[in-house]
Homo-oligomer: A and B are copies of this chain.
Amino acid sequence: MEKRIEVLSRRLQGYKFTPQRRLVLEVFLENEGDHLSAEEAYNLARVKDKDIGIATIYRTLDLLEEVGILHKSDFGDGRKRYELSQEGQDEHHHHHLVCLGCRRIQEVEEDLLNQLEGLVEEEKGFLIVDHRVQFYGYCRPCREKERG
């Protein structure tokens, strides 16, 4: 954990690695795989530093996204969400499963969209630089609970 924080913090060259910024980073490392909203990150951070401000959270999220540590998403629930960027991933292939039951978000790895993208570029002359794919439905636990 210490090691990972240290490695990630190197991307903050030119910016100070303040206790608050470190704290936000910790929160995301401790909740890896989660897609946290600013408020959620704020609440988690406040457990360790009750004086941290929400504005600092927003500013830190912006910063961490700018340097590529976090990735911002929007699932249409009225707030932006952030997740730890996967190392070595080219930042372009994100598929999310948004459960309409529990609102949990999981990821899918496959990228079968490439052929579709090729078609679109060819037919529409539209140069694709990013895409967003979200599936809405019900995850296995929610489906089982429903049946139960």
Chain A interface (Cβ within 8 Å of chain B)? 74, 76, 95, 97, 99-100, 106, 108, 110, 112-113, 115-117, 119-120, 124-140, 143
Contact = CB atoms under 8 A, between A and B. Distances in A.
Nearest to A97: B126
Contact of A133 (B97, B108, B133, B138): B133
B117 A127 contact: no
Given A129-B138, A133-B133, 10 more contacts: A106-B124, A112-B115, A112-B116, A117-B135, A120-B135, A125-B140, A126-B140, A128-B137, A130-B137, A131-B136
A113 B116 CA distance: 8
Contacts of A95: 116, 120
Contacts of A128: 97, 135-137
A112 B127 CA distance: 18
Given A106-B124, A112-B116, A120-B108, A131 B129 contact: no
Contact of A140 (B124, B131, B134): B124
A81 to B, nearest CB: 11
17 contacts: A95-B120, A97-B128, A106-B124, A106-B126, A112-B112, A112-B113, A117-B135, A125-B140, A126-B135, A126-B138, A126-B139, A127-B137, A127-B143, A129-B136, A131-B133, A131-B134, A132-B135
